[in-house]
Amino acid sequence: MNAPFQMNSLGEGYRALVIGSSGALGSALCEWLKNDPRCGGVRELGRQTDPALDLENPESIAEAAAELAGEAPYQLIVHAAGLLHRDEIKPEKSYRAIEAHALQAVFQVNTLGPALVLRHFLPLLARDGAMAMLSAKVGSIGDNRLGGWYAYRASKAALNMLVKTAAIELARTHPQSRLLSLHPGTVISDLSKPFSGAAAARPARVAARELLSVIDRLVPADSGGFFAYDAERLPW
């Protein structure tokens, strides 16, 4: 991890946009990008930035994109926001724990908001740029062996379908672009802290560099794919 970091696939002076920049992973992504000598600038977006982008406020997504349109195109866009738990929302251990309000909240942040991010921010992506949406391995239907976590699993599976579908459309007009679903692994953060897997969590700085390296290595033929932080292709 001590080797100098740089993104080689995006061109000299590339411009990056990170959505969800205040989270552990989002802020680590911004830190790496700001230290890349090839990066010409990093725009950070979140609920507290100017403009603000709140996934639970659809209007803010459209408004943020409209305000940033003058800065476009971006060669790299990374969506790093998500919701697993908060206050009254906890991952369900059984179908008996499914609640409508929790499903709606988790889907709003993990699926519906990101769908609007695709709608409004894909037009700001450079024709040969890369856009990555952070998904999760637990969103894999084929890899689901433990059950539970109904809202989170389903919301990430739905996000993967959105990314796959948008990548097919994007390839028709931007054949040199990459639109990806990425699994960051378990990262030391408020999201992972309450759960048993947190003991094996990696620092956000480590995970962020791994994710950026995966984006850098993947090519347009990989667009629409679902990949882990080590570049393993994950099953749907």
* Structural domain includes residue 234: no
Lowest mean pLDDT among 10-24, 29-43, 67-81, 197-211: 197-211
List all residues 6 or more positions away from 172 whose beta carbon is below 8 Å from its beta carbon. Answer: none
Q: Give residue-wise pLDDT tens across range 202-218.
A: 899 999 999 999 999 99
- Amino acid of residue 210: E
Q: What pLDDT sits at residue 85?
A: 85
pLDDT at 191: 57
Is residue 87 very low, low, confident or very high in pLDDT (cuts 50, 70, 90)? confident
Which structural domain, as residue segments, surrounds residue 210?
14-228
Calpha distance 235→151 (Å, rounded): 19
Residue 155 lies in a domain: yes
For residues 61 and 116, what is the distance between their CA atoms, to the nearest angstrom? Answer: 7
Residue 236 lies in a domain: no
Ranges of beta strands (E only) in 70-115 are: 74-79
Q: Is residue 64 part of a domain?
A: yes
Contact in structure between 141 and 157 (CB atoms under 8 Å) = yes
Residue 153 domain-assigned (yes or no): yes
Handedness of CA 190, 213, 233, 159 (dihedral sign): positive
Average pLDDT over residues 162-186: 97
Whether residue 162 lies inside any domain: the answer is yes
Total domains in the chain come to 1
Question: Is 126 part of any domain?
Answer: yes
Q: Is residue 54 part of a domain?
A: yes
Q: What local confidence, expressed as pLDDT, does residue 88 receive?
A: 84
Which distant-in-sequence residues (6+ apart) come within 8 Å of 86 by Cβ? none
Provide the 3-class DSSP secondary structure of residue 215: helix
Q: Of 223, 136, 139, whose CA–CA distance to 184 is shortest?
A: 136
What is the reported pTM? 0.92
Q: What is the mean pLDDT of residues 113-118?
A: 98
The CATH number that applies at residue 204 is 3.40.50.720
